Amino acid sequence: MTDSTDLTEHLTQLGRDARGFASPEEAVLERVPNPQAGVLYLTRFVAPEFTSLCPVTGQPDFAHLVIDYAPGDWLIESKSLKLYLGSFRNHGAFHEDCTVAIGRKFAETAQARWLRIGGYWYPRGGIPIDVFWQTGPAPEGLWLPDQGVPPYRGRG
């Protein structure tokens, strides 16, 4: 059995005082070894209160993010993910750029077998924008539950 200290000694945020980051470029997304690396399964992270800024107006944009991934040898450490997503709070980018950039950084860091991200953005200018990205076809035999976010209906 591996000592848990051995698994986390390289981490800079978990179990430490971490104040967050001013931008996604300086944020650190960390990973830990996957103790079930040989098993095909799905892990889901949900960020229902994600925020960024419109790059044109500077007004806040809000999204409900759902990240599904099939881990390989690594898992994304959840505190670092929270801090990484929080780094977008003062970052100006369009919905598509935020969603795809998060998915790509996550997939690269985790070296995921497969990943999909759904960015369910609340209306800007009266139009909700949903953005979806994935690394490719899902592995055969992977259970893919619905992301559970209904289309935006407003008050009607």
Residue 62 main-chain phi, psi, to 5 deg: -125, 140
Residue 9 main-chain phi, psi, to 5 deg: -65, -25
Three-state secondary structure call for residue 66: strand
Active-site option among 3, 6, 17, 61 = 61
Contact between 120 and 64 under an 8 Å Cβ cutoff? The reply is: yes
Is there a catalytic annotation at residue 54? yes
Active-site option among 17, 54, 68, 98 = 54
- Residue 121's nearest CA partner among 111, 131, 132, 113 is 131
Q: Which residues are known catalytic residues?
A: 54, 61
